[in-house]
Amino acid sequence: MEGETTDSYPLSPRNQVKRLYQRGCYDRATIHGLLDASMLCHVSYVIDGQPYCTPTFFWREASRLYWHGSSASRMLRNQSGGQQVCLTVAHLDSLVLARCGFNHSADYRAVMAFGTAYLVTDEGEKERALVAMVDRFFPDRTATLRQSTVQEIKATSVIAMEIEQASAKIRSKGVADDDEDYALPIYAERIPVRTVLGAPEPCPRLLDGVERPASLRGYSEGRLLEDALRDAHFAHYAGG
């Protein structure tokens, strides 16, 4: 894909996993897969020496990340001038109860992505981004909606960041006690955690005859959210 020249992101002290380094991954397939299975991220940045961390929705296009917000947003105003930021996502997969407090843990999959944020001012890029803001999560939906007004578009800013470096960190081993502790009469377990979609709740003010579109069938009751998000990404970008 455009913007991808190697199978892995470059490694440096900035993105290298230092503690439990064996859990680190730097390949694009793993990192992109974890990003695409999420829609909520946290963006960290500094304003006048004060660190901030803001949760927001985001999406990926090749090795570029996008997020959006109000044009009046302090976060977006400060990131528009080319500020270094760190964007993170995390998937919690289980709670781990071990035989001692020190070994209690969690299974997880997380990504840290580093780059320079910039305000999208190119009209063509912004137009594509505003479509992707909806269609990346709900394929082909924009074409069925009321067109955004000039004022609505003006009130929305889009920030982009080329991923310069990134790393994933994954724990998936469940209960991991010290060998001698397995002989202790102490209960231990792994409690799986999943984010599962509930039954759709149609707007009570729908007009008669308006049906749920087939394009939303990926968001069905009982399905994992991350599977629905990942499939939607591949549907919108035709192969990822």
Minimal CA–CA distance to 111: which of 15, 7, 232? 15
Give the C-alpha separation, 237 to 234, whole Å: 5
Q: Which of 213, 204, 218 is nearest to 144 (CA)?
A: 213
Cα–Cα distance for residue pair 67/60, rounded to 1 Å: 9
CB 126 within 8 A of CB 119: no
Q: What is the pLDDT of residues 12-65, one digit of tens each?
A: 999 999 888 888 999 999 999 999 999 999 999 998 899 999 999 999 999 999
In the block, tokens 């090749």 appear at: 62
Tens-digit pLDDT profile for residues 149-205: 999 998 999 999 999 999 999 999 999 999 999 999 999 999 999 999 999 999 999
If you search the block for the tokens 């963006």, which residue do you land on? Answer: 43
pTM, whole model, 2 decimals? 0.92
